[in-house]
Structure 1
Amino acid sequence: MTNIAPIPNVQTSLTRPDIVLPQKGSEYQRPDPILIQQLQGVSSATASAMLHKMGIRQTFIEGPKSAFPGAKIVGSAVTLQFMPQREDVASGIAQEYSEKYSALWAVLETIQPNDVLTIQAFGDPYTGCLGEMLITYFKSRGGVGIVADGFIRDWPHVRDIQLPLWVRGFTPNYASQSTLFPWAYNVPIACSRVLVLPGDIIIADDDGAVLIPRQIAPEIVRQTLEHEDWEAFSRKRMQEGGALLKYYPLNDEGRQEYEAWRLQQSQ
């Protein structure tokens, strides 16, 4: 009679002991809180336009929509990476409570004020990236919002928490119930095909979520403040009956008028 090797207990443990989970990225630098404050008045649309002008075009995290219309956040990206399940590595069967040893629990212990949890989840409707309890904990640590190219669960209760969320929708499933597993945190992720690095800046509002690379954020602040300043001038002039071709965008004549107006405003 042929001996049959015992089937490993894939319900509760890894069957590949050479793989250490959760995977954790290296330490990273968060943006200066003053920079976060300076960006509070910048819309995602303006940030996207300025980044495009600077030659950085893959920044719009397409897909996730605001669960709370009117919400606006600016913060430092903390990344969470879901990966497809594979039974010889980690199974999702009966794992809801063993998830506490995964990247999903680990990343929440790193959250600081002004953080935005940014999640790679492949738009999978069968994976509830987080639910009521974890979102409650995230908010208690000072997190300002969540951007996920995936789904969350417990929506009737999560709605009462009033944490700004940009997600693809809602699901009854928990995080590792079906097709994905919380694999790594503080690592580069692809959120809706946009590369997000830990410490990048996320701006999200009703137009969607946009990434600003941390190292160029000061220049974005400078350019967006100037952009919004001349837009305010142009808006006022067009409300008074001014010509569109002159004031949006400013032509040479309009810019001369704007510079004179700005000088007058500073006096």
Structure 2
Amino acid sequence: MNNSNQVDREIISKLSNYDSATVQNASILVRGYINHTNDYSGPGLTQYVESKKTIVGYAITSKWTPLYEKESIDDRKLEFFDNIFKMKIPVISVLADVESIPNRGAIMGDGMAYQMKSLGSIGVIVGGNARDIRGIKEANLPLWATGHVPGHGPFQMTEHGTTVNVADLEINQGDILVCDFDGITRVEKNIANDVIKMCKEVRKKEKNLHKYFSMKVSTKDWENWKKLKN
């Protein structure tokens, strides 16, 4: 493993100690507010297969069509899976439905889950429908998707390694994704170390807040708190 991969693994390991909301708060403190489409996922995303801890990895992106045969499309699924296999750092597979009638057929199932996990994926994010949810759970691959259905038609991957949109979040190949029950927070690689440092400050501030209001406050305590905030 080269030095860059060692650094990448260290970043991923440290970010996994925090939840997606804490990371989003820390990111704001580092680079200010940005458009939500470049920051965090919208409410249409659901975690169907949960994980014991925050899942953090580098995005491997792809676009799929699950309903109609596309004669002009060179289906390159194996290249996508090969990219997962060749990565030496934790990756999250990202699939987006780009069918002419989107979000009708499934673009993720249990067979793919077993394959992706075996090749090195630590989670999968689907901008579209998954199916075989119980099977994906048995594969023990954390899953986020915008819906689920029982079937699909002619099934093709149109391209991979490009920008995709999942639940109103733009995801690029190689983005750092922090994923948990709340959804996904995107972290820019060039500020990742600063975000990690700021996460500690956010966590400390929140801990103090929770402790202060863990019981009924007196009038004096409340007035003192307001003075600190003014």
The TM-score with structure 2 as length reference comes to: 0.78
The counterpart of 1:75, out of the listed 57, 65, 72, is 57
**Is 1:36 aligned to residue 12 of structure 2?**
yes
Q: 1:50 to 1:245 in 2, by over 3 A?
A: farther
Task: Name 1:22's counterpart in structure 2.
Answer: none
State the distance in 1 between where 2:222 and 2:97 align. Answer: 43
Residue 237 in structure 1 maps to residue 215 in structure 2: no
Which region of structure 1 is more displaced relative to structure 2, 236-245 or 42-51?
A: 236-245
In structure 2, what is the Cα distance between the partners aligned to 1:73 and 1:245?
Answer: 40
Q: Which has the higher strand share?
A: 2
Q: Does 1:60 align with 2:40?
A: yes
Q: Give the corresponding residue for 1:46.
A: 22
Equivalent residue, structure 1, for 2:196: 221
1:103 corresponds to:
76
Q: Is the CA contact 2:97–2:103 (under 8 Å) kept in the aligned structure 1?
A: no
Output one character per residue of 1:24-68: Cα deviation in whole Å (capped at 9) or x when no partner.
Answer: xxxxx8771100011012211122233344222322222220013
Aligned counterparts of 2:207 and 2:185: Cα–Cα separation in 1: 22
Distance (whole Å) between structure 2 residues aligned to residue 152 and residue 244 of structure 1: 49
Select which of 187, 201, 221 maps to 1:212. 187
Question: What is the root-mean-square deviation of aligned Cα atoms in Å?
Answer: 3.0
Distance 1:67 1:226 in 2: 31
Larger mean Cα displacement after TM superposition, 135-144 or 187-196: 187-196
Larger Rg: 1
Equivalence map 1:184-199=2 (5 Å)? 184-199=159-174
Q: Which residue of 2 aligns with 1:150?
A: 128
> Against the structure 1 CA distance between its residues 134 and 69, is the aligned structure 2 distance closer, same or farther, given a 3 Å change threshold?
closer
Is the Cα contact below 8 Å between 1:147 and 1:166 reproduced in 2?
Answer: yes
Q: Relative contact order: is structure 1 or structure 2 higher (C-alpha 8 Å, sep ≥ 6)?
A: 2
Counterpart amino acid of residue 162 in structure 2 = V
Report the alpha carbon displacement of residue 83 of structure 1 after superposing the two structures with TM. Answer: 5.8
Does the aligned pair in 2 maintain the 1:51–1:57 contact within 8 Å? no
Task: After TM superposition, give the deviation of residue 129 of structure 1 in Å.
Answer: 1.5
Contact 2:127–2:165 at 8 Å: present in 1 too? no
Q: Which residue number corresponds to residue 90 of structure 2? A: 114
Q: Is the partner of 2:121 in helix, strand or coil?
A: coil
Give the whole-Å Cα distance in 2 for the aligned partners of 1:155 and 1:164: 10
Match of 1:128 in 2: 106
* 1:110 Cα offset (Å): 1.4
- In the alignment, which residue of structure 1 is the partner of 2:148? 170
Task: Tell me the residue number matched to 1:89.
Answer: 72
Provide the rounded CA distance (Å) in 1 between the counterparts of 2:160 and 2:144.
Answer: 19
What SS is found at the alignment partner of 1:134? Answer: helix
Contact 1:166 1:209 in 2 (8 A): no
Q: Is contact 1:120–1:192 with CA below 8 Å preserved after alignment?
A: no
Tell me the CA shift for residue 167 of structure 1: 0.7
Structure 2 unaligned spans of 5+? none
Deviations 1:163-195 (A, max 9, x none): 110012222334xx26x7411111222223322
Where structure 1 has 5 or more consecutive residues not aligned to the other structure, the ranges are 1-28, 91-100, 255-267
Question: For residue 17 of structure 1, what is the aligned residue in structure 2?
Answer: none
Change (3 A) 1:222 1:79: same
